[in-house]
Amino acid sequence: MSKARSANLRACLQCNYVQRGSEFNAKGCPNCQESLDMQGELQRVAQFTTSRFDGILAMLDSDKSWVAKWQRIENRVPGLYAVKVRGKIPQHLMEQ
């Protein structure tokens, strides 16, 4: 993937799901929306996602995917996931 195309991608700090920042703002995270509530909240998108991640994998069927088991993303929605995310959700935000 070219740098220009990947420049807008962000990964959820909780589940590693990857999509554009604008999609996190429009729809939230499909795995973590209930706990992180990013939809329509640009500040929360910035706090709970990162553009600093290594590698992207595509998971289509978590029940049949050895990659999903290896990455510990079983029971998550199909989509793109970061192999390694750099950063953590600040503790004071997790307690809210």
Question: What residue ranges do the domains of the chain occupy?
Answer: 3-86
pLDDT class for 8, splitting at 50, 70, 90? very high
- pLDDT tens figures, 29-79: 999 999 999 999 999 999 999 999 999 999 998 788 888 888 888 889 999
DSSP state of 83: E
CATH for 3-86 (3.30.40.210, 3.40.640.10, 3.30.9.10, 3.40.710.10): 3.30.40.210
Query: Quick one: how far is CA 29 from the chain centroid?
Result: 7
pTM of the model: 0.87
pLDDT of residue 92: 80
Confidence (pLDDT) at 4: 46
Compute how many other C-beta atoms are within 10 angstroms of the C-beta atom of residue 57: 17
